Amino acid sequence: MLHTCSVPRLLLQALALAALTSYIYPSDAATSNSDSAHNITLKPTQVQKLGIRSSQIQAAGDAGRVVLQGLVTLPPNLLRVVSAPVAALVEQVQISKGDAVKQGQTLVTLNAPQLVEWQREYQQAQLQLKLAQQTAQRDEALLAEGIIAGSRAQASQAQLQIAQATVRERGQMLQLAGVKPNGSLSGHAVMSAPQRGTVIDMLVQPGQRVEAGAPILKFASEGALSIDMQAAPDVARRLRKGDVVRISGCALPARIVNINTELDAGSQTLSLRAQWPQAQDCALPQQRVQAEVALTPRADAAQAGNWLVPATAVLRHDGQDIVFVQRGSSYQAVNVRVISQSAAGNGNGNGSLTQISPVAPAQFKADDLIVNQGTVALKGVLQGLGAE
């Protein structure tokens, strides 16, 4: 593929390249070389100065993308309900709806006279345990001297085990109620946050009486959120579990985890659910978003290992065609073969597309980002332009 241009134009490009790469110095941009790839690590300010932009790579048989309306939701496994352990009076509420809390942080204080009775029963159980231990030890000594029968010592051991179980039971009841088993007698129960998370609903207020088991608040633990979407049947049939779902403003893509096969009678659509691999701060529960979903490519194209990238992403370096793959703050130059070039884009806003295949196998993944703007500046950094 030959490219021709006038000498003045070449001169202008060289001057522009030198101006851009002058922002990068050896102490700021790290590069490493190998036989098959070159890595460049840039800071966000450097990326901005060099005008670097990236877009997602496409399989050569990519059937395109579809934009679906989505709603960010909390997966059921993150939802918790904190309830009253006993009938009580809500004495103090220390948090509000929407507050972020730490594990163990006090949420609500309850006043429950029944807790005093439970504490008294726990102390009585401890006294019974102490007495049972003394009896069992004495009977063991008498049995060793042959003074009592073995059945009497066995009965003492059984009473000891019963006393131990009673203490554990009473102590567990107090712990579930938010009371320290060995603390002083008090009718106050402190309800604490079970994990780090967010209070999503407050169901009580100070002065309110609640029954045992009544919900006090709804709590959401920290974790990966879901995206609920609706798709027409013809679109849903082209989607698969694991397909990439991108949300504007979110660094990590989500992936489809469930496709409902039951058609909604009203909307005549199928329900889809995607989930992020980890917690994201780019979206909030109940936020409406636009989800861009990549349709499943043809199997023959995926097997061939060919990919589509914007024509501006491919450039020559050391006698070979390369593209830059963005992975975090690192930009890796990958050697490729140019298969063909299309005259027009496919509606993704990147203009003409070039079909490529990597020189070394398994160099690309379906969610890789390919630099389509600022490639000349990156090449300059790779060659050391602007370095002292």
pLDDT, one tens digit for every residue, the chain (388 residues): 444 444 445 444 544 544 444 444 444 555 544 443 478 899 989 999 999 999 988 877 655 678 899 999 999 889 999 888 888 899 999 999 989 999 989 999 988 887 877 888 888 888 999 999 999 999 888 888 888 888 888 999 999 999 999 989 888 888 777 777 776 677 788 888 988 999 999 999 999 999 988 999 999 998 899 999 999 888 888 888 988 999 988 888 999 999 998 998 898 999 999 999 888 888 888 999 999 887 665 555 555 678 889 999 999 988 899 999 999 889 999 999 887 776 444 444 446 788 888 888 878 888 899 999 999 999 888 887 643 3
For residues 40 and 71, state if they share a domain. Answer: no
Please say which residue of 274, 296, 318 terminates a domain: 296
326/269 same-domain check: no
**Measured between alpha carbons, how far is 144 from 387 in angstroms, rounded to an integer?**
90
Q: Is 118:125 a contact under the CB 8 Å cutoff?
A: no
Is 84 domain-assigned? Answer: no
Q: Let me know if residue 370 belongs to a domain.
A: yes
Which of these three, 244, 266, 296, is where a domain ends? Answer: 296
Radius of gyration of the chain (CA): 33
In a domain, 191, yes or no: no
Collapse the DSSP code of 92 into the 3-class scheme (helix H, G, I; strand E, B; otherwise coil) and give the result: strand
Same domain, 375 and 336: yes
- The overall longest dimension of the chain from CA atoms, in Å, is 116
Domain residue limits at 175: 114-186
Q: Rounded to whole angstroms, how far apart are CA atoms 365 and 201?
A: 41
CA-to-CA distance for 38 and 320, rounded, in angstroms?
13
Indicate if 274 and 304 belong to the same structural domain.
no
Together in a domain, 261 and 328:
no
Note whether residue 35 is domain-resident. Answer: yes
In single-letter form, the type of residue at position 152 comes to: R
Q: Residues 6 or more apart from 299 whose CB is under 8 A from it? A: 61
The CATH number covering residue 248 comes to: 2.40.30.170
**Is 152 strand, coil or helix?**
helix
Q: Report if residue 276 sits inside a domain.
A: yes
Q: Both tokens of residue 3?
A: 């490219």
Query: Are 127 and 168 contained in the same domain?
Result: yes
Q: How many CB atoms lie within 10 A of CB 80?
A: 16
If asked whether residues 270 and 305 sit together in one domain, one would say no
What does the alpha-carbon distance between residue 101 and residue 309 come to, in Å, rounded to a whole number? 45
Are 288 and 262 contained in the same domain? Answer: yes
Assess if residue 139 is contained within a domain: yes
Angle between helices 375-383 and 7-21 (to 10 degrees): 70
Is residue 309 located within the same domain as residue 281?
A: no
Q: Give the total number of structural domains in the chain.
A: 3
Domain final residue, candidates 247, 281, 296 = 296
Same domain? For 292 and 354 the reply is no
**Is 12 part of a structural domain of the chain?**
yes
Residues 349 and 320: their CA atoms lie apart, in Å, by 27
Phi-psi region of 362 (alpha: psi -120 to 50; beta: other; left: phi over 0): left
Q: Is residue 53 part of a domain?
A: yes
The answer to whether 314 touches 321, Cβ cutoff 8 Å, is: yes
Two structure tokens written together for 276 = 């992020």
Please indicate, yes or no, whether residues 308 and 375 belong to a single structural domain of this protein: yes
Residues 336 and 282 in one domain: no
